[in-house]
A and B are shown apart, each in its own frame.
Chain A
């Protein structure tokens, strides 16, 4: 087992504080890295800017998810109550103007579909659920849920190099820089 070749996941660097992480993130961003991430026990205001993250494309999915819900609600009410089986209640019309009664359904389905789109697209975009993460191989990384601030630069990134990236992380203020290898 010890003789097998392990895949390198990337470099993991620890930072002293949230502000050190913030400044370090700006440096890594400016170096042009794409496949990297920050890890912190709590959300840090403005870190997405410092990381140069683009806006999520999730809202566009949600818009179409919600629209689908609206159309589903409308078709459901219209097809059943107007075309297939018109129900006359209190002499109310069975035509397009009956939809007033079905607005709550259209509204609820819009929200339901939007909610589901958010949940499932979010999980899909994040690559969740997953059973393991290569960074869990690092012992010091366990502190990221307690009091540790980390930046991990992945070896998949085209800018990655064994020496330069390490030097960059050191320059950015990273401590305990560790080359994380995936456990087989």
Chain B
């Protein structure tokens, strides 16, 4: 048994990361982000690229926001369950989760109507109908029509269009009807309100929890009040997290095809969040330990627990995503199968088929032995591997929609991508990734590396399992 950590071993003012270790990576990430942002702005405005690049942006956005959401999840879960094991790595979770509110910046391009029209067919159709409605009313009343009230009629107009097109025998009638029925949820003001709500509510919650934790670091008389306060707040923030994570997946990813729906989709996205972020947490812990930080308060036992949680979520991801696939495959209902028809045909099929083996079976077997979770040289490559497989997972979920869609709105050209659109995926991924790394490093350097005055720090430092 190693020597027991006592309060004498903990520096009075905690550990802070040295500028020499963090400034250079932070600076490089910032430079890459700025270059990437300029390139992205060009691609968003270029007529050839903009349609395909919008999908690249959603893919990169969803991948990195899933990591931040997972960080927030682990932090909130830690408070809610009153856990003791992870106090010494809790600040890493807080730092990772606190990247989430900043991702509102990355979401800005997705607020631009021209970008949305390439991505979300339903928005396009709503806008067409609103425009037609405005024109119609202007002709009738002979005066300029006010946009908001015109939009309020869009739901009715969709219904009207459904009837008209049905009468004319046009194929897309039921799509307009679908939009009419889903109008209470899928309408532009509510969508925008939701997205803002996601960032304000969950971002605010994460901010409060992190602030409570950091305030403890400098408290001359640290007690248990903050611990209890954080737990009480977390019980409120946890449901908010569940709703936000689910509806981010629904509004940004599932809405790419408004005709398709799956009640598993939110859980499926969440499973990826928790898995991904645990891999990132292990990588960050390893990086900080290699620079000589966190050595007194973390040990192989922390790696063991984090590895076990990652292993659990490898299984959970497989369970949820397979359940989603199998129920749809087995029931074989037309409106549900479109998602997998697209992803199980042509080249996508190879990738989809590889997921159960490469995303589940391989990491599952690799992580089974206890030493695979404890030895950094083994666990780090596994973490990187899991992150790569998760890129593939989300790539299939998002980018497959960019190709010829199985059903498209009548009269609108299908979005055939005949240029090397995957280059856009790389640009978007690097840009958003650099932003993520920059914000994460900024959070790491802005506070102590672990809650050095937390009443349960020693319990965590002497962890044994």
Q: What is the interface of chain A, defined by CB distance below 8 A to chain B?
A: 45-46, 49-50, 55, 59, 63, 90, 92, 100-101, 103-104
Q: Which B residues are CB-close (under 8 A) to A63?
A: 368
For A67, the closest partner residue in chain B by CB is B365
Using a Cβ–Cβ cut-off of 8 Å, how many residues does chain B contribute to the interface with A?
11
Return the CB mask of B199-223 against A: 1 if under 8 Å, else 0: 0000000000000000000000000
Those of B299-351 within 8 Å (CB) of chain A: 322, 325-326, 329-330, 332
Say yes or no: A46-B1 contact (C-beta < 8 A), given A55-B370, A63-B368, A90-B332. yes
A49 vs B2: C-alpha distance when bound (angstroms): 11
Among the listed A55, A59, A101, which residue makes an inter-chain contact with B326, where contact means beta carbons less than 8 Å apart? A101
Q: Does chain A have a CB within 8 A of B464?
A: yes
Q: Would B330 and A45 count as touching, CB distance under 8 A?
A: no
A45 vs B1: C-alpha distance when bound (angstroms): 11
19 further A-B contacts with Cβ under 8 Å, apart from A46-B464, A59-B368, are A45-B464, A46-B1, A49-B1, A50-B1, A55-B370, A59-B369, A63-B368, A90-B332, A92-B332, A100-B325, A100-B326, A100-B329, A100-B330, A101-B326, A101-B329, A101-B330, A103-B322, A103-B326, A104-B326
A45 vs B459: C-alpha distance when bound (angstroms): 13
Q: Which A residues are CB-close (under 8 A) to B332?
A: 90, 92
A174 vs B322: C-alpha distance when bound (angstroms): 57
For B329, the closest partner residue in chain A by CB is A100
A49 vs B322: C-alpha distance when bound (angstroms): 40
Closest Cβ of chain A to B56, distance in Å, is 31
Q: Which B residues are CB-close (under 8 A) to A45?
A: 464
A59 vs B322: C-alpha distance when bound (angstroms): 26
Selected A-B contacts with CB under 8 Å, 17 pairs: A45-B464, A46-B1, A50-B1, A59-B368, A59-B369, A63-B368, A90-B332, A92-B332, A100-B325, A100-B326, A100-B329, A100-B330, A101-B326, A101-B329, A103-B322, A103-B326, A104-B326
* Interface hub of A50, A55, A63, A103 (most chain B Cβ within 10 A): A103
Closest Cβ of chain A to B359, distance in Å, is 15
Q: Which B residues are CB-close (under 8 A) to A104?
A: 326
For A22, the closest partner residue in chain B by CB is B1
A90 vs B330: C-alpha distance when bound (angstroms): 9
A59 vs B370: C-alpha distance when bound (angstroms): 10
For A102, the closest partner residue in chain B by CB is B326
Closest Cβ of chain B to A21, distance in Å, is 15
A49 vs B300: C-alpha distance when bound (angstroms): 15
A55 vs B304: C-alpha distance when bound (angstroms): 15
Q: Which A residues are CB-close (under 8 A) to B464?
A: 45-46
A104 vs B327: C-alpha distance when bound (angstroms): 11
Q: Which A residues are CB-close (under 8 A) to B370?
A: 55
A63 vs B322: C-alpha distance when bound (angstroms): 22
Q: Which B residues are CB-close (under 8 A) to A101?
A: 326, 329-330
Return the CB mask of B116-141 against A: 1 if under 8 Å, else 0: 00000000000000000000000000
Q: Which B residues are CB-close (under 8 A) to A50?
A: 1
Those of B226-281 within 8 Å (CB) of chain A: none
Closest Cβ of chain B to A147, distance in Å, is 24
Q: Which A residues are CB-close (under 8 A) to B329?
A: 100-101
A18 vs B383: C-alpha distance when bound (angstroms): 39
Closest Cβ of chain B to A135, distance in Å, is 27
Return the CB mask of B1-16 against A: 1 if under 8 Å, else 0: 1000000000000000
A129 vs B228: C-alpha distance when bound (angstroms): 47
For A60, the closest partner residue in chain B by CB is B369
Minimum-distance CB pairs A-B, first 8? A90-B332, A49-B1, A100-B326, A45-B464, A46-B1, A46-B464, A100-B329, A101-B330
For A50, the closest partner residue in chain B by CB is B1
For A104, the closest partner residue in chain B by CB is B326
A63 vs B364: C-alpha distance when bound (angstroms): 12
A59 vs B329: C-alpha distance when bound (angstroms): 35
Closest Cβ of chain B to A15, distance in Å, is 18
Q: Which A residues are CB-close (under 8 A) to B368?
A: 59, 63
Closest Cβ of chain B to A152, distance in Å, is 23
A63 vs B368: C-alpha distance when bound (angstroms): 9
Those of B421-464 within 8 Å (CB) of chain A: 464
Q: Which A residues are CB-close (under 8 A) to B330?
A: 100-101
A95 vs B141: C-alpha distance when bound (angstroms): 65
Q: Which B residues are CB-close (under 8 A) to A55?
A: 370
Q: Which A residues are CB-close (under 8 A) to B325?
A: 100
Q: Which A residues are CB-close (under 8 A) to B322?
A: 103
A92 vs B370: C-alpha distance when bound (angstroms): 41
Closest Cβ of chain A to B342, distance in Å, is 17
Closest Cβ of chain A to B376, distance in Å, is 19
Closest Cβ of chain B to A151, distance in Å, is 18
A45 vs B464: C-alpha distance when bound (angstroms): 8
A46 vs B369: C-alpha distance when bound (angstroms): 20
Q: Which B residues are CB-close (under 8 A) to A46?
A: 1, 464
Closest Cβ of chain B to A174, distance in Å, is 21
A38 vs B144: C-alpha distance when bound (angstroms): 90
A100 vs B356: C-alpha distance when bound (angstroms): 11
Closest Cβ of chain B to A45, distance in Å, is 6
A55 vs B374: C-alpha distance when bound (angstroms): 14
For B331, the closest partner residue in chain A by CB is A90
A100 vs B323: C-alpha distance when bound (angstroms): 10
Closest Cβ of chain A to B300, distance in Å, is 13
A92 vs B1: C-alpha distance when bound (angstroms): 58
Q: Which B residues are CB-close (under 8 A) to A90?
A: 332
Closest Cβ of chain B to A81, distance in Å, is 14
A104 vs B1: C-alpha distance when bound (angstroms): 43
For B322, the closest partner residue in chain A by CB is A103
Closest Cβ of chain A to B147, distance in Å, is 48
A91 vs B461: C-alpha distance when bound (angstroms): 59
A50 vs B464: C-alpha distance when bound (angstroms): 13
